[in-house]
């Protein structure tokens, strides 16, 4: 029989064991490893489609959410043999490269295995293994000044406005930390260069239209307003997936919202595990269109060029 602090989930011949379920990962909130396991087991059916067939980077918190963490791309020794891997060459340092066997988190048991391996949030590529050079979406990563989440709300709606001007639909979620993510699903005909250039073009247009509110300045000391980071669109980049618990006080969840819900009253840390699951029950997966409704990027890029030429 497993110990009291151990749990086991089985699917046929496959199984995952959770050890130290009562270990506290969020000291200020009393959230345990078992609590995290229970949440990911419940949210798995909605989460897994957003991770499936994407190289996965493990962000491991061996000392809990308040402690240090490290990124691990290579599948670790002892990983269950039923979790598939895909090998890619990476360039961790200038002029160097290495081959990495990335885990593929393709089902709910694999998600639970990452929890056992001290992962709190789920970080996967923007592209899938069959077309690794072709992203599924453009990401707009909104980083507001400290304590100014309301500015990020304003800018997210400005991003939505430009997307509508160029004929695209975007989907919004809290990052679960201090910012906002807007994802634009695109057909897998565009390169990462194209998605990055499009995101940068939107950011530059908004910075010109709204100086002081939107910035593309990389150096934090020089920023005025909300930073729109187009460089997050790139081969091998990752973000915390939708429905990820984040290593922040209160164990907030990166939660999808309807645009009309994104108001000045939104407090991102109010969206925790219980809220995310209740919203799934009430609304279904509001981010499912990111997977199911790709849009052509090329016509939007041409329209954005026209808008940029007319911008003061």
DSSP string, 190-242: S-HHHHHHHHHHHHHHHHHHSBTTEE--SSGGG--SEEE-GGG-STT-EEEPT
Phi, psi of 95 (to 5 degrees): 85, -5
Q: What is the pTM of this model?
A: 0.94
Longest CA–CA separation in the chain, Å: 71
- The phi and psi torsions of 185 (rounded to 5 degrees) equal -65, 135
Query: What pLDDT was estimated at residue 164?
Result: 98
3-state class of 96 per DSSP? Answer: coil
Q: Where are the alpha helices (DSSP H) in 54-148?
A: 108-116
Q: Could you give the residue range(s) of every CATH 3.90.920.10 domain in the chain?
A: 1-125, 129-312
Query: What's the CATH fold of domain 129-312?
Result: DNA primase, PRIM domain (3.90.920)
Dist. CA 170–CA 168, nearest whole Å: 7
Burial of 130 (0-12, 13-18, 19+ CB in 10 A): exposed
Torsion from C-alpha of 158, 159, 162, 166, nearest 10 degrees = -160
pLDDT at 3: 44
Q: Helices H, strands E: what count in the chain?
A: 7, 16
pLDDT at 82: 96
pLDDT (tens place) for every residue of the chain, 312 residues total: 344 567 899 999 999 999 999 999 999 999 999 999 999 999 999 999 999 999 999 999 999 999 999 999 999 999 999 999 999 998 877 678 899 999 999 999 999 999 999 999 999 999 999 999 999 999 999 999 988 999 999 999 999 999 999 999 999 999 998 899 999 999 999 999 999 999 999 999 999 999 999 999 887 777 789 999 999 999 999 999 999 999 999 999 999 999 999 999 998 888 999 999 999 999 999 999 999 999 999 999 999 999 998 866
1-125 folds as DNA primase, PRIM domain (3.90.920)
């Amino acid at each position: 029989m497993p110990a009291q602090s151990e749990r086991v989930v089985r699917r046929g011949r496959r199984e995952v064991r959770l050890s130290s379920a009562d270990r506290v990962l969020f000291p200020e909130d009393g959230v345990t490893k078992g609590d995290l396991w229970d949440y990911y087991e419940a949210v798995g059916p909605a989460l897994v489609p957003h991770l499936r067939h994407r190289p996965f980077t493990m962000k491991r918190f061996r000392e809990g959410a308040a402690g240090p963490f490290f990124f691990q791309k290579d599948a670790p020794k002892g990983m269950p043999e039923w979790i598939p891997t895909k090998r890619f060459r990476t360039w961790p340092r200038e002029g160097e490269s290495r081959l990495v066997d990335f885990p593929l988190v393709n089902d709910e048991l694999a998600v639970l295995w990452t929890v056992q391996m001290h992962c709190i949030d789920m970080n996967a590529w923007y592209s899938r293994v069959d077309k690794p050079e072709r992203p599924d979406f453009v990401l707009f990563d909104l980083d507001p000044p400290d304590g100014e989440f309301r500015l990020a709300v304003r800018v997210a709606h400005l991003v939505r406005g430009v997307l509508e001007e160029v004929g695209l639909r975007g989907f919004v979620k809290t990052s679960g930390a201090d910012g906002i993510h807007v994802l634009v699903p695109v057909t897998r005909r565009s390169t990462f260069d194209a998605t990055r250039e499009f995101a940068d073009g939107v950011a530059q247009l908004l910075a010109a239209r709204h100086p002081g509110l939107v910035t593309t300045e990389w150096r934090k000391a020089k920023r005025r307003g909300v930073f729109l980071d187009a460089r997050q669109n790139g081969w091998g980049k990752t973000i915390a997936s939708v429905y990820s618990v984040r290593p922040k006080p209160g164990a907030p969840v990166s939660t999808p919202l309807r645009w009309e819900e994104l108001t000045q009253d939104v407090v991102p840390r109010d969206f925790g595990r219980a809220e995310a699951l209740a919203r799934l029950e009430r609304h279904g997966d509001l981010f499912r269109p990111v997977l199911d409704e790709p849009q052509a990027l090329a016509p939007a890029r041409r329209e954005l060029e026209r808008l940029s030429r007319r911008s003061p």
